[in-house]
Amino acid sequence: MEAKLQELKTRLMEVDDLEHANALLAWDQTTYMPPGGAPARGRQMATLARLAHEKFTDPAIGKLLDDLRPYEESLPYDSDDAALIRVTRREYERNTRIPSAFVAELNEHIAATYQSWTEARPANDFARLRPALEKTLDLSRKLADFFPGYEHIADPLIDFADYGMKAASVRAVFAQLREQLVPLVQAITAQPPADDSCLRRSYPEDQQLAFGEAIIKRFGYDFNRGRQDKTHHPFMTKFSLGDVRITTRFKEDDLGYALFSTLHEAGHAMYEQGINMAYEASPLAGGTSAGVHESQSRTWENIVGRSRGFWQHFYPELQKTFPDQLGDVPLETFYRAINKVERSLIRTEADEVTYNLHVMIRFDLELQLLEGSLEIRDLPQVWHDRYQADLGITAPDDRDGVLQDVHWYGGLIGGAFQGYTLGNIISGLFYEAALKVHPEIPGEIAQGRFDTLHGWLKTNIYQYGSKFTANELIERVTGGPLRIEPYMAYLRGKYGELYAL
C-alpha cells in the first residue's frame, strides 16, 4: 500500500507540475507578455493542458485508486491519506469523462477569446466577439453533456467550481437573499448618497501601491511566498504553496479602486498560503471551492478592510501618505465614502449591499444561455434590460455592459458567477463563528492586529485546502448547513448604523 500511495503521489506531482507551469504562462499572458506572443501562447497553454489531462486520466491512476480503496476505507474520513485518495478519485472520475482533444480545443479557444476580449472591450465591440462567444457556449454545453443525468445543464459546470451545489440549490439561496436585499437597497438609496469625492482626488500610483502592500503585509500575506504585479483584471494565482501571486490595477483618480482589489486578492492568496505544506503538489493543495475562496477575499476586503475599526487605526496612516488629498477629510467622511451604497454599473466596483444583485443577473443569464432560452446575439440588450429592471440603470455601452467581466471571455459560460455570492454568504457564516470563539477580534482589528482572526481562519479553514468540501467545512465550523442569516445580520448591522435604518 505504501508503495502504491507513493506512486500515486509521484504521478500527481507530475500533473501538478504541468498545471502550474501552465498557470505561469497564463500569469505572464496577462501581465508582461507582448501582444506578439499571443498566438504561440495559446498553443503552448493548450499543449500543457493536454499533457496534464493525459497524465491525470492515465488508466494507471484509476488502477492505483482501485488498489488503494481498501487502505482508504481502513482510515478515518479526516485522515490526510484518505482525503487525498477521495479527492483524487472525484477529480479522476470527472476528468476521465472529458476527452483530451476536447480539453485542448477548449483551452486554445479560451486563450484566443481572452486575447480578443482585451482588444474588443476598450473598442466597445461586442460584435467582434460574438462568434467566439457562440463557440464558448457550444463548448460549455458539450462539456456539461459529458456528465449526463443532470437536473439542469448548468449543474455539472456549477459542480466544477462549487462542488455539491446545483442550479436549483443556488437559485433557492439566491431567492432568499434577494428577498431581503432588495428592500435594504431601496431603504438605503432612498436617502441622499454619501459624498465620496474625497476618493476622487489625485492619488499617485506609487504611493497607492506602497500603502496597499503595507496593509496586506499586516494582514499576514507573505511576500516571501508571493508578489504583486499589474494587469487588466485582478486575480490571484499560484505556482506552488511557496509562490502565491496577486495582481492589481490603478486609477490615479480613484483611491478605492486598487486598494480594495489588493485587499481582496490578498484574501484569496492568504487562503492558499495557509494550506498545509504537506499537501504540496497534490489535489489537496488548493482552496476547496469558488465560494469558500471568495468568502476569504470578501472577509479581508470588506468585513475587515471596510470596517470602522480598521480605519480608526489605519486612517491616520493613510492621511500621512496622502496629506494634501486627505488632510482635511474627517474619518467619518472617508468611512462613509468607502461604504457608499449606490445602484452602479460595474460589479467589481459595486458596494457590499448591491454587489449580489450584479452576481444574480449574471447567474440567471448563464442559466438562460445554457438552457437555450437566450441567444448570444441578444445578450447585450438583455444585459441592459436586466440592469434596468434590477438596478434601475442602463450602461451607455457594452464596454460597461456585457463586456465588463472577463469570465465568459476567459473561461466557460456556466458556473462562473454563483461563487461570488455564495462567498459573501459564507464570509458571514465563518466570521460569526470566529467571533463566537474570539469576541476580541473587532477590538484587535481596531488596533491594527489581525493575528487572532488570521490564526482562526488558518486553523479552521485554510490549512485543510481541499481536504473537506465547502459543505463539510461549513458543517464543521458552524454545526449546520449554508444559511444567509449571519451575512444578512452583518449587512443590517453595518448599514443600519451607517444609514440610521
Residue nearest to Zn ion according to CB distances in the complex: 297
Return the number of the residue (29 or 421) whose C-beta is nearest Zn ion.
421
Report DSSP letters for 421-447, one per residue: HHHHHHHHHHHHHHHHH-TTHHHHHTT
Cβ at position 442, least distance to Zn ion in Å: 23
CB 60 within 8 A of CB 11: yes
- Nearest residue (CB) to Zn ion, 300 versus 314: 300
Q: Which is nearer to Zn ion, 22 or 297 (CB)?
A: 297
When the beta carbons of 213 and 294 are compared against Zn ion, the nearer one is 294
Between CA 403 and CA 123 the distance in angstroms is 10
265 carries an active-site annotation: yes
- Tell me the three state secondary structure of residue 247: strand
Helix, coil or strand: residue 245: strand
For 164, counting Cβ atoms within 10 Å of its Cβ (0-12 exposed, 13-18 middle, 19+ buried), the class is: middle
Provide CB contacts within 8 A for 8, sequence distance 6+: 61, 64, 65, 68, 84, 85, 88
The site map against Zn ion for 266-295 (x = CB under 5 A) is ----------------------------x-
From the CB of 232, what's the least distance to Zn ion, in Å? 15
Judged by CB under 5 A, the number of residues near Zn ion is: 2
Q: Do residues 194 and 334 lie in contact, with contact meaning Cβ atoms separated by under 8 Å?
A: no
Q: Name which of 297 and 469 has its Cβ closer to Zn ion.
A: 297
Rg of the chain on CA atoms, in Å: 23
**Minimum separation from the CB atom of position 95 to Zn ion (A):** 25
For residues 414 and 141, what is the distance between their CA atoms, to the nearest angstrom?
9
Q: Which of 41, 45, 57, 58 is nearest to 19 (CA)?
A: 45
DSSP assignment of 155-168 equals HHHHHHHSTT--HH
* 94 vs 230, beta carbon nearer Zn ion: 230
Shorter beta-carbon distance to Zn ion: residue 113 or 299? 299
Helix residue ranges, H only, 274-330: 290-298, 308-321, 323-326
Least Cβ distance, residue 30 to Zn ion (angstroms): 15
Question: At closest approach, how far in Å is the CB of 457 from Zn ion?
Answer: 16
237 binds Zn ion (CB under 5 A): no
Q: Which of 72, 265, 294, 301 is labelled catalytic?
A: 265
Within 409-448, the residues that bind Zn ion by CB under 5 A are none
Least CB distance to Zn ion at residue 455 (A): 22
Tell me if residue 239 falls in helix, strand or coil: strand
Cα 192 to chain centroid, rounded: 32
- Antiparallel, parallel or unpaired: β 243-248 and 228-230: parallel
Return the residue of 140, 297, 418, 471 that touches Zn ion, per CB under 5 A: 297
Residue of 114, 173, 168 lying closest to 488 (CA atoms)? 173
Shortest Å, Cβ 292 to Zn ion? 11
- Catalytic center residues: 265
What residues line the site for Zn ion (CB under 5 A)?
294, 297
